[in-house]
Amino acid sequence: MTNDLGVLEKKYQALQGCFDEARLRLWAAVEARSLGHGGVARVAEVTGLSRRTVHRGVAALAGTQRGVEALPPKRVRRAGAGRKPLPVKAAKLREDLEALVEPLT
């Protein structure tokens, strides 16, 4: 059991920089399924990913096996997902920053 976790940790360290979020989640799900019962918790412990993230990967794997279409190729997130640009999020950001700098310049 401990040996499995050591191997899993080495795999994670080797692959960590190669994957984007979605691919890392799917890899973690595959590893969790291969470990069987308690695999999600062990993968989460070794990788530092949340158990929820690993569970989402498991669900995504199950969805693609049933024919549910995954993300389009070359996409990490669905369209419109992710952080919004700061000017959109905080409309007065530019004005506030200029007000802070103005007295000094």
Task: Tell me the three state secondary structure of residue 66.
Answer: coil
> What average pLDDT does the chain have?
80
Q: Does 87 map to a domain?
A: no
Q: Does 91 map to a domain?
A: no
Instruction: Name the pTM for this structure.
Output: 0.59
pLDDT score for 71: 55
Q: Does 48 map to a domain?
A: yes
Q: Does 94 map to a domain?
A: no
pLDDT band at residue 68 using 50, 70 and 90 as cut-offs:
very low
Q: Does 83 map to a domain?
A: no
Q: Does 47 map to a domain?
A: yes
36, amino acid identity: G
Other Cβ atoms less than 10 A from the Cβ of 39: the count is 20
d(CA 105, CA 101): 6
Q: Does 96 map to a domain?
A: no
Overall domain count for the chain? 1
Domain of residue 65: give its range.
2-71
